[in-house]
Amino acid sequence: MVWKRGIKPPAWYPRRGEVCLFDLDKERPAVVISTDALNRFSRDVCVIPISKVQHKQFSLRPKLTAGEAGLKYDSWVKCDQVTTLEKEAAVYPSLGFLTPESLGRIEASIRITLELPERK
C-alpha cells in the first residue's frame, strides 16, 4: 500500500534524528531530538526548529547543507530554541534523517546551550 501525504500509518511516529515538517501556523521543519522510547508512546516529541535564515551572531546554530535530510535549502538548526510539539502535528512522510555527524554537531550545540556536561 502506498501512503499519501498526511495519512500516517498506524505504527508511524517521528524518530530521533529525523527531520519532519510540523503543521503549525504553516508547515515548518524541525529535527526530532527526543529518544525513540519516548517518541513511540508519548503525545509530544522534543524538537529543534530549522531555519533557512542564517544569523551569524548565533554560533550555536549548526548548518545543514541543501539536500541533507531532504532539506531544499542550506539551513540552520536553532539549538537555542529546544521545544516540544504534539507529534500529531508532524507531517507524514518525514523529509529524511540527519547524518550521524550532523546529529553529533547538534547534540554538542545543545550541551553548550543547556550547560550540560560533556559525555565521558
Contact 105, 62 (CB under 8 A): yes
Please state, rounded to an integer, the average pLDDT across all residues of the chain. Answer: 93
Q: Using a pLDDT cut of 90, give the percent of the chain over it.
A: 84
Given a cut of 70, whether residue 6 has pLDDT beyond it is: no
Fold classification of 18-113 (topology level): SH3 type barrels. (2.30.30)
Q: Whole-model pTM?
A: 0.91
Taking residues 78-82, report their average pLDDT.
Answer: 96
Given a cut of 60, whether residue 2 has pLDDT beyond it is: no
- What is the pLDDT at residue 7? 85
